[in-house]
Amino acid sequence: MIALVDYGAGNLASVCKALAVAGTEARIARDPGELADASGVIVPGVGHFQATAAIDDAWREGIVDRLGNGRPLFGICLGMQWLFEGSAEAPDQPGLGVLAGICTRLAGADESGVPLKVPHVGWNLITRCRQSRLLEGVPDTAYVYFTHSYAAPVTPETVAATVYGETFASAVERGQVWGVQFHPEKSGEAGLQILRNFVGFAESG
């Protein structure tokens, strides 16, 4: 069973509901002990990066242990940012660090300097950069729903990118670790397909 980490930052109910439609029942884990036999782990979250301080050493140990057992990990929105080394939003709060780079605030202006609103809210396009099992069945460009002010840099682990003034990583993959900046549970059919793909990773092996 897939475990959703409840560290107090975000609406897990809508992720659970979407996972149910994607074909699986998920368990909301309120403490690290509940990760013990999880087939996969999802770290959700919305809000300020500082909130990830609640993913303490015990949680990290549990999450890393599952990864060590070949179980897939999926970070959503704040959860994806947490996979990186950290975020300029809370410089003293380290992320998990499985992905290199620091998240930074969206500049809020396009190439010609025309101001853009921050947070980035609404439907924007993700464009596939390279093959990824997470995006199987999703068109090369697809609209998904974003709501965030900070974003992850484009690195070799980026599998899809989005343009909002600047280009940032909207989906990432490294081994058994995946992440999306947008909300797959709020992104219609494209989002449900991504969740189905993750469910598939958790069910295999």
Contact footprint for another protein (CB under 8 A):
9-11, 13-14, 17-18, 21, 46-47, 116-125, 143, 145, 147, 163-164, 185-189, 191-192
User: Residue 130 CB, nearest distance to another protein (Å)?
Assistant: 22
User: Residue 169 CB, nearest distance to another protein (Å)?
Assistant: 17
- CA angle (17 as vertex; 14, 176 as ends), nearest 5: 85
Catalytic residue from among 16, 77, 103, 129: 77
Q: CB-wise, 164 or 177, nearer to another protein?
A: 164
User: Residue 117 CB, nearest distance to another protein (Å)?
Assistant: 6
Cα dihedral 120, 97, 128, 75, rounded to 10, equals -70
Q: CB-wise, 132 or 162, nearer to another protein?
A: 162
In 101-184 the beta strands, taken as DSSP E runs, fall at 102-105, 120-128, 141-148, 150-151, 158-164, 166-174, 177-180
Tokens 């980490």 sit at which residue? 5
Instruction: Give me the half-sphere count of Cα atoms (radius 13 Å) on the Cβ side of residue 166.
Output: 15
Report the 10 Å Cβ neighbour count for 141: 12
Q: CB-wise, 35 or 76, nearer to another protein?
A: 76
User: Residue 78 CB, nearest distance to another protein (Å)?
Assistant: 9
Catalytic, 48? Answer no
- Enzyme catalytic residues: 77, 183, 185
